[in-house]
Amino acid sequence: MHSKDYKNKKTKEYNKISISNDRKTLVDIAEKKGPKNYLIINGLSAWTVGQLDGEIERGHWNLSEIRVDIIFEKNNEMKFIKATKNSFIRL
C-alpha cells in the first residue's frame, strides 16, 4: 500500500491510496525510487474461535474515512489512537 506518487504496471489506484504487489515496487522502495509513503504488509490474518468477538467487545474494530496521514503513520500506537478518534462507527 502506498501513496499515489508512484505507479508501475502492477499498481492499482483507489480513492486516496494505491496498491502494488510486485517485486519491482519493493526494489524501488529499497533504492529510494519508490513512493514517498508506503506500508509493506506481509502475512496471514486469522482468528481463533471467539477471538474476533473479543476484539469487537474491547473496541478494537472501528470504521472510519480513509486518511493517508493515519495509514502511513509510523508509530502504531499513535495510528490506533488517531484511527479511533477518526472513527464514525465502533464495532
Average pLDDT across the chain, whole number = 90
Percent of the chain beyond pLDDT 90? 62
Whole-Å CA distances, 44 to 24, 41, 69, 86: 22, 10, 25, 26
Residue 3 predicted with pLDDT over 90: yes
The pLDDT value recorded for residue 8 is 94
Instruction: Determine the pLDDT at residue 32.
Output: 96
Whether 37 shows a pLDDT value over 70: the answer reads yes
Quickly list H helices, the chain: 23-30, 51-57, 68-71, 76-86
| For residue 62, pLDDT beyond 90 | no
pLDDT at 87 (0 to 100): 83
Predicted pLDDT of residue 90: 65
